[in-house]
Amino acid sequence: MTGSLVVVGTGPGKPELMTPATQEALAAATDLVGYGPYLDRVPALRADQCRHASDNRVELDRARHALALAASGRRVAVVSGGDPGVFAMAAAIFEAVESGDPEWHLLDIRVEPGVTAMLAAAAEAGAPLGGDFCALSLSDNLKSWATIERRLKAAAEADFVISLYNPASKARPHQLGEAFTLLRSIKAGETPVLFVRAAGSADSKVVVTTLADADASVADMRTLVIVGSSTTRRVGRWIYTPRGAKP
Amino acid sequence: MTGSLVVVGTGPGKPELMTPATQEALAAATDLVGYGPYLDRVPALRADQCRHASDNRVELDRARHALALAASGRRVAVVSGGDPGVFAMAAAIFEAVESGDPEWHLLDIRVEPGVTAMLAAAAEAGAPLGGDFCALSLSDNLKSWATIERRLKAAAEADFVISLYNPASKARPHQLGEAFTLLRSIKAGETPVLFVRAAGSADSKVVVTTLADADASVADMRTLVIVGSSTTRRVGRWIYTPRGAKP
């Protein structure tokens, strides 16, 4: 068990948002494992480095492959976008450890934090996460839609700012519209809603609207949606949530 | 209005967790404004750079000072720890813009995202934020304790992983104990609880316990507390939350 595995995140897109610690971890790796588009963000670092690109939605297979490589003595970096601990590969790695070869428990495994999409999206709009907030994935590949609705309802009733990851994909075109319908039954129509596409990358785009007017078809796989709390508001060209809350 | 203002976060502590974009913004600034200990994390970058250190808990005064400097033509960087948009200075800047000199609306103001403490704390323990999660400040300086209790209850009932910022200070020694009491009335006693002190810095320390056994006095101002969901668990020496959820 001389190999090692580090799970890293490239940040939201721009190279300047990847931490130096992650750059160092990538440079030290003999093997990079990840979803193709994330691997493409990593520049060529050394001639002897192998890249193992895989499709999206095969996270557990990818995790097992990475662990097997590490167990064979390789220095493996598993590459996510954003922060690897937020709706990304770190949890999949530990799922694979739990259900896999008992020897994998002995491996040197660590996680490097990164800038997750929600933080980059918020920064582009101002400071919409200035108060208490939650982060929720709308993908029902791994949890039931009833669970998602229950969490949305709780977050809206308790007046959290709500960040929605994975708001839509070709296989799931209806979830975000259903989420907006649910939120409209609890929150004011004038609540600010942000659609931030490709946050923290060179081609990012922010659309600001209200919950009443929010059109779910604006979102795609690369969009992060932020729904404000009751105090989230515009000031000038920015959107922010004050640090306090209504009593 | 030739000045500018950028709000940055140093990351959780280690220089290797400060993004290159933030390093560049700091190097370009003529004036650094922030709480003393955060300014101390910024190396000397240029001989002509002025540092304006202030006490904690004077965020609005600090924000107004920074905006006035920018309005006078300076290139100002406001320095937070972690990510400036999460329980930090970005929201205070926009509060000050809203209530201040109308000319401040014309300023070039932007926010650079960073690695917030919760992400660094999670990475040190494994992947406890692997599912849906929320972030809640326990400070009742700016919101009522009733609001905090309502949000804790909602987050627990909807089975979010819960990150607690500002869990304790000398002026507020009792909040975290009260929060644990409330959470124990809803969540299982064996729920993992993490106390991560100085996450993402050279002297970080992780304590793993359960909700039943959690001792609030372990936490201080530099501690981030993570309370797991119903699926958060140990695997080997790591704590993680699987990507799915109970039905």
Mean per-residue pLDDT for B25-36? 96
Give the whole-angstrom CA distance, residue A48 versus residue A81.
23
CA angle B224, B225, B228 (to 5 degrees): 140
Read off the tokens for A213.
């007017």
Alpha helices, DSSP H, located in A72-218: 89-99, 117-125, 145-157, 175-184
In sequence order, what are the beta bridge partners of B136? B164
Q: What are phi and psi of A47, to 5 degrees?
A: -65, -30
The reply to whether ipTM tops 0.90 is: yes
End-to-end CA distance of chain A: 55
In sequence order, what are the beta bridge partners of A195? A207, A225
Query: What architecture is domain A118-240?
Result: 2-Layer Sandwich (3.30)
Please indicate whether, in this complex, the C-beta atoms of B155 and A154 are within 8 angstroms of each other. yes
Give the whole-angstrom CA distance, residue B97 versus residue A115.
26
Tokens 């020496």 map to which residue?
B237
- Closest chain A residue to the Cα of B238, Cα to Cα: A94
Q: Residue B247: its pLDDT value, please?
A: 64
Choose among B109, B47, B53: nearest CA to B79. Answer: B53
Q: In chain A, where are the structural domains located?
A: 4-115, 118-240
pTM, to two decimals = 0.97
Average pLDDT, chain B: 95
8-state DSSP, B102: G
In sequence order, what are the beta bridge partners of A53? A34
Q: Is the CB of residue B156 less than 8 Å from the CB of residue B187?
A: yes
Mean per-residue pLDDT for B77-90? 97
Please indicate whether, in this complex, the C-beta atoms of B245 and A142 are within 8 angstroms of each other. yes
Q: Residue A53: its pLDDT value, please?
A: 92
Please indicate whether, in this complex, the C-beta atoms of A132 and B132 are within 8 angstroms of each other. no
The A residues from 31 to 60 touching B (CB cutoff 8 Å) are: 59
Tokens 């790796």 map to which residue?
A29
Q: Residue B1: its pLDDT value, please?
A: 60
Q: Residue B45: its pLDDT value, please?
A: 80
Alpha-carbon gap: A75 to the closest alpha carbon of chain B (Å): 18
DSSP string, A31-82: EEEEEHHHHTTSPP--TT-EEEEE-TT-HHHHHHHHHHHHHTT-EEEEEESB
Q: Is the CB of residue A115 less than 8 Å from the CB of residue A10?
A: no
Q: Indicate if B118-240 has the same CATH topology as B4-115.
A: no
Secondary structure element (H or E) that encloses residue B240, with its range: strand B238-240
- Closest chain B residue to the Cα of A112, Cα to Cα: B123
Read off the pLDDT of residues A195-217 as tens digits, 9 standing for 90 and up: 999 999 999 999 999 999 999 99
Q: Which residue has the higher pLDDT, A226 or B54?
A: A226
A81 touches chain B (CB under 8 A): no
Read off the pLDDT of residues B219-243 as tens digits, 9 standing for 90 and up: 998 999 999 999 999 999 999 999 9
Tokens 């190279």 map to which residue?
A15
Give the whole-angstrom CA distance, residue A27 versus residue A42.
10
Please indicate whether, in this complex, the C-beta atoms of A16 and B21 are within 8 angstroms of each other. yes
Mean per-residue pLDDT for B176-191? 98
Q: Between A and B, how many CB-CB pairs are < 8 A?
A: 237
**pLDDT tens series, chain A, 247 aa:** 679 999 999 999 999 999 999 999 999 999 999 999 999 989 888 888 999 998 777 899 999 999 999 999 999 999 999 999 999 999 999 999 999 999 999 999 999 999 999 999 999 999 999 999 999 999 988 899 999 999 999 999 999 999 999 999 888 788 999 999 999 999 999 999 999 999 999 999 999 999 999 999 999 989 999 999 999 999 999 999 999 877 6
Q: Residue B172: its pLDDT value, please?
A: 79
Q: Closest to A116 (Cβ–Cβ): which among B119, B144, B244?
A: B119
Top CATH class, B4-115 = alpha beta
